[in-house]
């Protein structure tokens, strides 16, 4: 072999080694300039993928690995975010998905093993919470009364409470609420206001009594008296007032007394209460006032009563009829009744 040939072979070897070194250095530079991350992708069906990537944006990582996100799916972190420190991308369809991450970054130079463990195991939970609240109704009062006569309140519409729903985004850390943000609020049911009307109590004086009504009441009194009704006998010959009273019913057990109490069943007049005889009325009607109520004409008393009792809730426009049993009182309820009043 000639000298020139040997020199040529040596030059080729030097060039080859140089090229190899340059390639190796280029690859090393690329590896240093591009950080490679090991990222876990958890799909909505639970399948997990481990991928190597130099990308940091969530959207870019999913696109590089041919992962398609459906419209109903949620990506955590969202598509526009960078990959979080836990190097995990989760795809789910659950709006209340629990997002577990250790996003706390400790930058202090004095990092202890306890700090690292705390940073790695703090669970962050975000949930949508819906809370219901009651919307109170208001009371509207309309004064329809005139003059200085007695008045009464009439409920023309009962109030109904409404309901509202407020949606919050609540963030928990280790099961402790750390943030709460209102997302939306809506009225589910509108409240209905209560309406009350103030009206005059209709009272007819002796001078303005309907003559026909008075004559009818007189005939009833005469007939009842002839039949032996003592109350009708007292009223016979008197001219009645005609009034409409709001009537309810009561019995001895509803008077806040026990059967063992000395005053059980005793009226404000001192007489013992008697069914189909005793009524409680307002102070406009003195004790001993006789009343004929046509609504009770078919009852044992023929509709004749006497005022023997009072009551804390018995105003001049109300009347309380004494009955034997609580069930009778409940069945009677409350109603407006025409009454013929014979004052003592």
| Inside any domain, residue 30 | no
Q: Could you read off the pLDDT of 299-326 as tens digits, one per residue? A: 878 888 999 888 877 888 899 999 988 8
| Inside any domain, residue 146 | no
What is the domain range of residue 66?
Answer: 37-119
CA 41 distance to own-chain centroid: 43
- 205: exposed, middle or buried (Cβ count in 10 Å: 0-12, 13-18, 19+): exposed
What pLDDT, on a 0 to 100 scale, did the predictor assign at position 34?
59
Domain shared by 290 and 215, yes or no: yes
Mean of the pLDDT values across residues 187-210? 70
- The whole-model pTM stands at 0.37
Q: Which two tokens stand for residue 98?
A: 């629990």
Q: How far apart are CA 247 and CA 317, in angstroms?
A: 9
Contact status, residue 241 vs residue 343, Cβ threshold 8 Å:
yes
| Inside any domain, residue 27 | no
Q: Could you read off the pLDDT of 30-59 as tens digits, one per residue? A: 544 557 888 888 888 888 888 888 888 988
What pLDDT, on a 0 to 100 scale, did the predictor assign at position 202?
54
How many angstroms separate the Cα of 299 from the Cα of each of 277, 281, 302, 305? 10, 20, 5, 11
What pLDDT, on a 0 to 100 scale, did the predictor assign at position 107?
45
Q: Could you read off the pLDDT of 284-293 as tens digits, one per residue? A: 898 888 999 9
Domain shared by 211 and 335, yes or no: yes
Please indicate whether residue 218 or residue 59 has the higher confidence score (pLDDT).
59
Q: Which residue has the tokens 């109903």?
A: 72
| Inside any domain, residue 73 | yes
| Inside any domain, residue 152 | no
Q: Could you read off the pLDDT of 155-187 as tens digits, one per residue? A: 888 889 999 999 999 988 888 888 899 989 999
Number of domains the chain contains: 3
What pLDDT, on a 0 to 100 scale, did the predictor assign at position 240?
87
> Which of 150, 178, 197 is the last residue before a domain boundary?
197
Mean of the pLDDT values across residues 204-219? 45
Q: Could you read off the pLDDT of 334-343 as tens digits, one per residue? A: 999 999 999 8
Domain shared by 189 and 296, yes or no: no
pLDDT band at 210 (very low <50, low <70, confident <90, very high): very low
What pLDDT, on a 0 to 100 scale, did the predictor assign at position 135?
93
Domain shared by 169 and 294, yes or no: no
Contact status, residue 39 vs residue 51, Cβ threshold 8 Å:
yes
For residue 264, pLDDT over 80 is answered with yes
Please report how many Cα atoms fall inside a 13 Å half-sphere around the Cα of residue 54, on the Cβ side: 6
User: How many C-beta atoms surround the C-beta of residue 26 within 10 A?
Assistant: 10
For residue 208, pLDDT over 90 is answered with no
What's 66's domain CATH number? 3.10.20
For residue 27, pLDDT over 60 is answered with no
β-sheet bridge partners, residue 186: 165
Domain shared by 134 and 251, yes or no: no
Q: Could you read off the pLDDT of 93-149 as tens digits, one per residue? A: 876 554 444 344 444 455 555 554 554 455 778 889 999 999 999 999 988 777 666
| Inside any domain, residue 88 | yes
Domain shared by 175 and 211, yes or no: no
């Amino acid at each position: 072999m000639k000298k020139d040939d040997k020199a040529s072979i040596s030059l080729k070897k030097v060039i080859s080694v140089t090229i190899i070194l340059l390639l190796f250095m280029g690859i090393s530079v690329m590896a240093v300039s591009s950080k490679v991350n090991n990222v876990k992708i958890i799909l909505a069906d639970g399948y997990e993928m481990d991928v190597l990537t130099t990308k940091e944006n969530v959207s870019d990582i999913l696109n590089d690995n041919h992962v398609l996100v459906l419209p109903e799916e949620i990506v955590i972190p969202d598509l526009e975010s960078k990959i979080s420190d836990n190097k995990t991308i989760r795809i789910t369809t659950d709006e209340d998905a629990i997002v577990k991450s250790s996003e706390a970054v400790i930058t202090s130079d004095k990092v202890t093993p306890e700090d690292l463990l705390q940073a790695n195991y703090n669970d962050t939970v975000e949930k949508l919470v819906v809370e219901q609240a009651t919307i109170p109704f208001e009371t509207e009062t309309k004064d329809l009364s005139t003059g200085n006569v007695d008045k009464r309140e009439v409920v023309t519409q009962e109030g109904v409470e409404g309901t509202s729903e407020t949606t919050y985004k609540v963030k928990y850390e280790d099961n402790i609420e750390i943030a709460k943000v209102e997302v939306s609020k809506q009225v589910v049911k509108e409240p209905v206001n209560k309406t009350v009307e103030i009206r005059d109590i209709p009272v007819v004086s002796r001078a303005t009594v309907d003559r026909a009504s008075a004559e009818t009441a007189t005939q009833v009194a005469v007939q009842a008296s002839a039949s032996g009704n003592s109350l009708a006998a007292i009223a016979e010959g008197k001219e009645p007032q005609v009034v409409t009273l709001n009537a309810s019913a009561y019995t001895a057990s509803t008077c806040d007394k026990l059967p063992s109490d000395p005053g059980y069943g005793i009226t404000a007049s001192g007489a013992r209460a008697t069914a189909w005889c005793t009524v409680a009325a307002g102070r406009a009607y003195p004790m001993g006032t006789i009343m004929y109520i046509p609504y009770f004409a078919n009852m044992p008393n023929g509709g004749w009563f006497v005022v023997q009792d009072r009551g804390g809730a018995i105003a001049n426009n109300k009347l309380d009829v004494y009955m034997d049993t609580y069930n009778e009182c409940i069945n009677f309820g409350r109603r407006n009744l025409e009454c013929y009043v014979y004052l003592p």
